[in-house]
Amino acid sequence: MRHGKYPFVIGFLFAPVALYVTFVIWPYAQAFQISMTNWRGLSAPQWVGFDNYRRLLDDGAFWKAVQHHGVLLLALPLITIAIALFFAFLLNVGGKSSGGQRQGVWGAKFYRVVFFFPQVLAVAIIAVLFQMVYRPNESGLINGVLMKIGLEPILFLVKPNLALWSILAVLVWQAVGFYVVLFSAGMASIPGEIYEAAEMDGASRVTLFFRVTLPLLWDTLQVAWVYLGIAAFDAFAIVAVLSVDGGGPDGATTVLAMEIYRNAFVYSKYGYASAMGVALFFLTLTFAALTLRLTKRESVEY
């Protein structure tokens, strides 16, 4: 049996590995190859080496998109995790004790469904919904209320200094429900005896959160931060539907995925767009590696 173990394992792994190489690794390799060319889609590609990458260094639109990713990388995980942790704590251990077990607030099961609801909607549908929310006239959900009480409408998606934050709010609204469920699962695995012991020592709810819940959820928080960082590097569908002229006004909401789309399918610069895609790949990989390294800590066993 021992001598036949490796052929048996290889036999089961061959098909999924072959599919992964064909549909994931090979397209990545093609992107690297195309990024070294001046290919416009119809004519034969011309080899230009690293010229496309040198052009990126002087591309204002590219660096503006990178700057926007920097804002999203900081704000999206911080805001989403803070809100999701707060709600998850209330839904799982924020209520009274019953039979020696911590309970969530009243109606916790209903709230879980409500918070998770955005996850069942397609990203494009969410963007269209918030188009109606952000409309700059009385037909908009927010501005309609403001105008009825005599206030001026807010141009959420038109003002350059407000547009990116308006899109960030949509990304947070979309993501919070998933992380409420993720953190709830982590809190459910924490033994109730730990909370009981802390309460017997006089710990308040704030102390329970910061001294018990947060340290024991650290691995889950680490994963959540990486996932949200990857989401911040994407954000293409929300930006494409909500923003003015695809990343506007005046490039105030553009992201790398938007610039890749524009260069590839509007300007037919497939080689240059692939170079941007490769840059996005390494930025995402670097972020994930740094996050896992900088947030690494000894695991707490319980």
Rounded distance between C-alpha atoms, residue 281 and residue 287, angstroms: 10
Say which CATH architecture domain 61-294 belongs to. Answer: Orthogonal Bundle (1.10)
User: Which of the four pLDDT bands, split at 50, 70 and 90, describes residue 244?
Assistant: confident
Is the pLDDT reported for residue 235 higher than 50?
yes
User: Which of the four pLDDT bands, split at 50, 70 and 90, describes residue 65?
Assistant: very high
Lowest mean pLDDT among 100-104, 192-196, 201-205, 273-277: 100-104
Strands 101-102 and 97-98: antiparallel
User: Which of the four pLDDT bands, split at 50, 70 and 90, describes residue 207?
Assistant: confident
Lowest mean pLDDT among 73-77, 155-159, 201-205, 228-232: 201-205
Rounded distance between C-alpha atoms, residue 198 and residue 169, angstroms: 36
Mean pLDDT over all residues of the chain? 85
Tell me if 238 sits within 8 A of 170, measured CB to CB: yes
Nearest to 213 by CA among 104, 73, 80, 290: 104
Contacts (Cβ under 8 Å, ≥6 apart) of 246: 239, 240, 254, 258, 261, 262
Cα 166-170-171 angle, rounded to 5 deg: 115
pLDDT for 53: 93
Q: For 165-193, write each residue's pLDDT tens digit.
A: 999 999 999 999 899 989 988 888 877 77
Lowest mean pLDDT among 50-54, 85-89, 213-217, 295-299: 295-299
- Percentage of the chain beyond pLDDT 70 is 92
Q: Count Cβ atoms below 10 Å from residue 49 Cβ, excluding itself.
A: 9
Tell me if 275 sits within 8 A of 35, measured CB to CB: yes
Sign of CA dihedral 183, 187, 190, 194: positive
pLDDT for 195: 73
Lowest mean pLDDT among 103-112, 135-144, 274-283: 103-112
pLDDT for 69: 94
Cα 99-105-109 angle, rounded to 5 deg: 95
**97 DSSP β-pair partners:** 102
**101 DSSP β-pair partners:** 98
Is the pLDDT reported for residue 39 higher than 50?
yes
DSSP calls for 1-23: --TTHHHHHHHHHHHHHHHHIII
Instruction: Give the pLDDT mean for 194-219.
Output: 78
Locate 54 and state its tokens.
């040198």
Greater confidence (194 vs 256) lies with: 256
DSSP calls for the chain: --TTHHHHHHHHHHHHHHHHIIIIIHHHHHHHHHTTB---SSSPP-B-TTHHHHHHHT-HHHHHHHHHHHHHHHHHHHHHHHHHHHHHHHHHHSS-EETTEE---TTHHHHHHHHHGGGGS-HHHHHHHHHHHT-SSTTSHHHHHHHHTTPPPP-TTTSHHHHHHHHHHHHHHHHHHHHHHHHHHHHHTS-HHHHHHHHHTT--HHHIIIIIIHHHTHHHHHHHHHHHHHHHHH-HHHHHHHSBTTTBSTTTT--HHHHHHHHHHTS--HHHHHHHHHHHHHHHHHHHHHHHHHT--PPPP-
Is the pLDDT reported for residue 20 higher than 70?
yes
User: Which of the four pLDDT bands, split at 50, 70 and 90, describes residue 97?
Assistant: low
pLDDT for 1: 46
pLDDT for 2: 55
